[in-house]
Amino acid sequence: MSVIVTDTGFAADDWKCGFRAVEGSPANDCPEGIDLASDTDPATLVGLTNAAMIRVDFPSFADGRGFTLATRLRQLGYKGRLRAKGHVIADQYAMARRSGFDEVEIDDDLAARQPEDQWLRRSNWQGHNYQARLRG
């Protein structure tokens, strides 16, 4: 099982349509989410801007590529749901949100080790944001 973290805390996953890799063929009945690896070639992002859900993998919390992938997707005009999945720690929640992610998907072990209150402490991610300030 996994836990979805948003600004309001922990919740169960409400995404019903599943996920597929970029290369996979789409199902007809349900708009599947797209799974992106952290080493995704940024050139492939252009074709994904109409997806309903994109999920970017974080194989390790030290792999910061997902933050750039999310930023690029948003700059390309992607308006759908954007999720960071895997080894993302509570201390990175604000970075994830500021990079354009809507939510973070973590496993039960991580949710037990870093319970909801530790994530909620960073739900103030809009405050103290130099980059937003510089962009006016």
Partner 1 sequence: MYTYNDFDEAFVLERVAQFRGQVERRIDGSLTEDEFKPLRLMNGLYLQLHAYMLRVAIPYGTLNSGQMRQLAFIADKWDKGYGHFTTRQNIQYNWPKLNDVPDMLEALADVGMHAIQTSGNTIRNVTADHFAGAAADEIADPRPIAELLRQWSTDHPEFQFLPRKFKIAVTGSPNDRAVTKAHDIGLRMVRNDAGEAGFEVVVGGGLGRTPMIGKVIRDFLPQEDLLAYCEAIVSVYNLLGRRDNKYKARIKITVHENGLETIREKVEARFAQIRDGFTGFDQQLLAQIEQHFAEPSYKSAKTDGYEAARLANPAFRSWTDTNLTAHKNDDYAIVSISIKKHGHTPGDASSDQMRAIADIAETFGHNEIRISHEQNVILPHVHKADLNLVYQALRKADLATANIGLVSDIIACPGMDYCALATARSIPIAQEIATRFEELKMEHEVGPLKIKISGCINACGHHHVGHIGILGLDRAGVENYQITLGGDGSEDATIGERAGPGFSADEIVPAIERLIKGYVAIRQDDEETFLQAYRRLGPAPFKDILYPEKAEKNAA
Residues that bind partner 1 (CB under 8 A): 42, 61-65, 67-69, 71-72, 75-76, 89-92, 94-99, 113-114, 118, 121, 127-131, 133-136
Which residue is associated with the tokens 């739900």? Answer: 123
Nearer to partner 1, 69 or 104 (CB): 69
Locate 63 and state its tokens. Answer: 């792999």
Closest approach of partner 1 to the CB of residue 57, in Å: 14
Phi, then psi, of 2 in degrees rounded to 5 = -135, 165
User: Rounded to the nearest whole angstrom, what is the least distance from the CB of residue 14 to partner 1 in the complex?
Assistant: 25
Minimum CB separation from partner 1 for residue 85, in Å? 16
Pairing of strands 19-21, 9-11: unpaired
Kindly state the tokens that stand for 104. Answer: 């973070």
- Closer of 4 and 90 to partner 1 (Cβ): 90
In the bound state with partner 1, the residue whose beta carbon lies nearer, of 32 and 57, is 57
The CA-atom distances, in angstroms, between 114 and each of 8, 11, 71, 84, 108 are 15, 14, 26, 16, 10
- Tell me the closest approach of the beta carbon of residue 15 to partner 1, in angstroms: 24
- Angle (CA) 27 45 91, round 5°: 100
Looking at beta carbons only, is 31 or 71 nearer to partner 1? 71
